[in-house]
Amino acid sequence: MLEELQSAIDPLDDVLAIVEQAIVDDPPFVLRDGGLIRDGFDAQLDELRSISRQGKGWIARLESEERERTGISSLKVRFNKVFGYYIEVTRSHLARVPEDYQRKQTLANSERYITPALKEYEEKVLGAEDKLVQLEYDLFQQVRQQVARQGRRIQQTADSLATLDVLLSLADLAHDRNYVCPQIDESTELTIVEGRHPVIETMSLAERFVPNDLIMDTEENQLLIITGPNMAGKSTFMRQVALITLMAQMGSLVPAKEATVGVVDRIFTRVGASDNLARGQSTFMVEMTEAANILNNATPRSLVVLDEIGRGTSTFDGVSIAWAVAEYLHDNPVVAAKTLFATHYHELTDLALTRKRVKNFNIAVKEWNDQIIFLRKIVKGGASHSYGIQVARLAGLPAAVIDRAREVLKNLESGEYETEGAPRLAKSKGALPAQPADQLSLFSQGPDVLRQRLDEIDVSVLTPLEALNLLDQLKKMV
């Protein structure tokens, strides 16, 4: 391939020669003001330039000559667009103005004059300059046409260089970041040993990036349900699998220790929570539209990544939809694609009991003193807890809210309901904070109010002035 590319690269020496002969090293940005064409390229242009230069030299000399002749040391030769070149004499020296000066304009402190000789040279200079600019423009057009006639060769070479550039960049990246050459075949398998996320692994995280393995196929491991608390690394893992597949198929090496990639026909994704809000569709609607597209178009050769589908609606609706989507992707042989399915609905792990190709995985966490530690390792089996409350505490929710949430959770889990069906949590002691309110707002709520305020800001619609005011506001809040 490199040889092919090389043979397609044309050094374009003839085109280079045209440009080098005709155009100055540092041409101006506009074409109409001249200064584009090199000296020596065109005889007529050189001649016009020399006339213009000589004329300007003569006019410059005129000033000192006239000063001497008239004895007016402050006499000046100037230029403006209306009168062209003129001689200016200040009021106090008017008595010494010679006869041959023709008055052109009277100002408060001075008079402006022309002389026939001055006008004669001016005509030469300005005439030459007009012609110069036009001639340069014409010459430039000619050069451009000459170059354009070689357009095909230039484009072909640019194309080869672009391809070479992409290959070189991929090679450089693969070398710097220890990528491996994936094995690519026609199977429906996808095996990754110690895969990494190509972007996250390069970010300076507080922790080391933890690589993960994956085995998928269409026989045993078609639909992987991935559970685990928020922040465990579900989305990262799924995206890294999709990216490794994509990179492998585009001919890149991949961030892993080993990888076997059966060629896929498409990668379908449903990820991200608030992506399309700006276009006026609710999160849930976007989610469902994308899910519909996947279910209508996936094939057993596809790779499907579903991240927390059903999150945008009520719990019961959400579980039901997620469940039915997963079942369909498993049961319908037309769309039975390799699927990674991250969910916080633990109920979905039950699918593995009745569906042969469904496997449960979770991202391991460790409980320690009522806290959680993220291990970032994907392991077999469903997650037992969602650890939502622990994660909420990590995020800085006030202790009183965390305690109350724990209480509500306990009641919910023990399934105690009133006779009318209302959970007993409504009955237990209220959510009043144990500490005085102002103390809470000072020490635990402060950062969250800020965070909330920041979260509400849509930077894309702020004017610079609004942004400044906002910054001032935030500063006051702090």
Give the footprint of ligand ADP on this chain (CB under 6 A).
Answer: 200, 205, 207, 209-210, 228, 230-236, 376
The item of Mg ion, ligand ADP, none sharing an interface with residue 233, based on CB under 5 to 8 Å by kind, is ligand ADP
| 339 lies in the binding site for Mg ion (CB under 5 A) | no
Task: Choose the one of ligand ADP, Mg ion, none that binds residue 357, judging by a C-beta under 5 to 8 angstroms depending on kind.
Answer: none
376 binds, among ligand ADP, Mg ion, none (CB under 5 to 8 A by kind): ligand ADP
Task: Report, in Å, the least distance between residue 402 CB and ligand ADP.
Answer: 19
Cα–Cα distance for residue pair 28/31, rounded to 1 Å: 7
| Least Å from the CB of residue 239 to Mg ion | 9
**Which residue, 253 or 372, has its beta carbon nearer to Mg ion?**
372
Residue 112 binding target from Mg ion, ligand ADP, none, CB below 5 to 8 Å by type: none
Based on CB atoms, which residue is closest to ligand ADP, 51 or 375?
375
444 binds Mg ion (CB under 5 A): no
* Phi, psi angles (nearest 5°) of residue 410: -60, -45
Rounded least distance, CB 409 to ligand ADP, Å: 19
Task: Work out how close the CB of 232 gets to ligand ADP at its nearest, in angstroms, rounded to a whole number.
Answer: 4
Q: By C-beta, is 49 or 376 nearer to ligand ADP?
A: 376
Residue 238: CB minimum distance to Mg ion, A:
8
Which residues, in sequence order, are bridge partners of residue 138?
A: none
Select the residue interacting with Mg ion from 52, 218, 235, 445 (CB under 5 A). Answer: 235
Q: How many CB atoms lie within 10 A of CB 27?
A: 13
Rounded to the nearest whole angstrom, what is the least distance from the CB of residue 390 to ligand ADP in the complex?
13
Smallest separation (angstroms) from Mg ion to the CB of 336: 25
Q: At closest approach, how far in Å is the CB of 271 from Mg ion?
A: 8
> Which is closer to Mg ion, CB of 235 or CB of 390?
235
Q: Which listed range, 37-45, 178-186, 230-238, 321-329, lies at the site for Mg ion (CB under 5 A)?
A: 230-238
Backbone angles phi, psi at 143, to 5 degrees: -60, -45
- Contacts of residues 206-211 at CB distance under 8 Å and 24 or more positions apart, as own/partner, are 207/374, 207/376, 209/376, 210/375, 210/376, 210/377, 211/256, 211/257
221 lies in the site for Mg ion, by CB under 5 A: no
Contact of residue 298 among Mg ion, ligand ADP, none (CB under 5-8 Å per partner type)? none
Contact of 424 with 417, CB cutoff 8 Å: yes
Cβ nearer to Mg ion, comparing 133 with 271: 271
The answer to whether 362 contacts Mg ion (rule: CB under 5 A) is no
Residues that bind Mg ion (CB under 5 A): 234-235
